[in-house]
Amino acid sequence: MSAGVVDLTLWQLALALLLVAAVAIVSIRQVLGLERDLLLGSIRTIVQLYGVGLILAAVFAAARWYWVVLILVVMTGVATHAAVSRLPKPIPGAYRIAAVSLFVSTGVTLAYVIGVVVQVGPWYEPQYIIPIAGMILGSSMTSAALAGDRLQGELRVRAAEVETRLALGFSGREAVQPLVRSALRAAMIPVVNGMMTVGLVQLPGMMTGQILAGSSPLLAIRYQIVVVFMQAAATALASLFFVRLIAGRYLTPAHQLRRYLL
């Protein structure tokens, strides 16, 4: 894109591989037993990123809205699977709950950022919507997984507290509310704390990428500010929907706790 970018040849990539070799040497000498995983991880890094790169190159070239939508759907599917598989206890309906939460949180945030903040035209311009959607989905997925993990842990430890509240005549929703709150806090605190030190400890990945690609740092930080705020929004929305819906699975309409799911 920009004239200032140093092209990376395959030869240079091979030189980067030496860094992994250094890690392998550490692993062997310290008997960490990580060599196999390291090899597999390196191969996957190369194959997965090349695969994605080829697909993105094709989509960028075609710039058709349906290809973009297809990619977004696939990304959401992968994120849904990842969020569900990080739940410590499987529960019925988890896939639907995760899919709905990620779809809504990502959809709302993405529409606002693309349509109102950045005002990309056309909206499906792949260069914008795909990386932005990726970042939003990533935040949504991480926070949903974090919140779900915390909620299930709280439910297991505090089941008697929930039932005591039910026995006092509280509704199911009221009875789990303190647990929901602590799960939401667990999911949101890292994001809020991250806002305190952003840029001071390390440059965020997207900003780094833009600067490397030749953007002016002052433009890069504007984008980064948008990114930080949109990730905060996605985190809040995704964890809220996910935790509320998951908590609902543990309650019956008769305000009972489904203890067999704990």
Partner 1 sequence: MSDPIFEIEHLSLAYPGRRGPPMAPILKDVSFTVERGGALTLVGPSGSGKSSLLRCLNRLEEPTAGTVRFEGRDIQALDPRRLRRGAALVMQTPVVFEGTVRDNLRIRPADVDGDLSEARLGQALADVGLEGELLDRDAATLSGGEKQRVTIARALLGDPRALLLDEPTSALDPPNAALVVETVSRLRETRGLSIVAVTHQPELVRRLGGMLLYLVKGEMQAYERVGDLDVRLQAFLAGERAAGVADAS
- 182 binding partner 1? (CB under 8 A): no
- 261 binding partner 1? (CB under 8 A): yes
- 125 binding partner 1? (CB under 8 A): no
- In whole angstroms, how far apart are CA 203 and each of 32, 191, 199, 229? 30, 15, 5, 16
- 257 binding partner 1? (CB under 8 A): yes
Q: Which is nearer to partner 1, 125 or 163 (CB)?
A: 163
Which of 20, 174, 198, 245 lies at the binding interface for partner 1 (CB under 8 A)?
A: 174
Q: Nearest approach, Cβ of 166 to partner 1 (angstroms)?
A: 6
- Residue 176 burial (CB count, 10 A): 28
- 85 binding partner 1? (CB under 8 A): no
Q: Which is nearer to partner 1, 71 or 257 (CB)?
A: 257
Short-list 149, 152, 134, CA closest to 79: 134
Contact 59, 67 (CB under 8 A): yes
Residues 149-168 that bind partner 1 (CB under 8 A): 160-161, 163-168
Q: Give the separation between CA 138 and CA 130, rounded to whole angstroms.
A: 12
Which of 85, 127, 171, 193 lies at the binding interface for partner 1 (CB under 8 A)?
A: 171
- 252 binding partner 1? (CB under 8 A): yes
Residue 201 tokens, joined? 């400890």
Q: Which is nearer to partner 1, 176 or 257 (CB)?
A: 257
- In whole angstroms, how far apart are CA 55 and each of 5, 46, 119, 126? 22, 14, 25, 11
Instruction: Please tell me whether residue 257 adopts helix, strand or coil conformation.
Output: strand
Q: Which is nearer to partner 1, 125 or 174 (CB)?
A: 174
Give the DSSP letter of residue 161: H
Q: Which is nearer to partner 1, 91 or 118 (CB)?
A: 91
Instruction: Please tell me whether residue 175 adopts helix, strand or coil conformation.
Output: helix
Contact 104, 237 (CB under 8 A): yes
Which of 16, 29, 30, 260 lies at the binding interface for partner 1 (CB under 8 A)?
A: 260
- 84 binding partner 1? (CB under 8 A): no
Contact 195, 232 (CB under 8 A): yes
Note the residues at the interface with partner 1 (CB under 8 A).
160-161, 163-171, 174, 178, 252, 254-257, 260-261
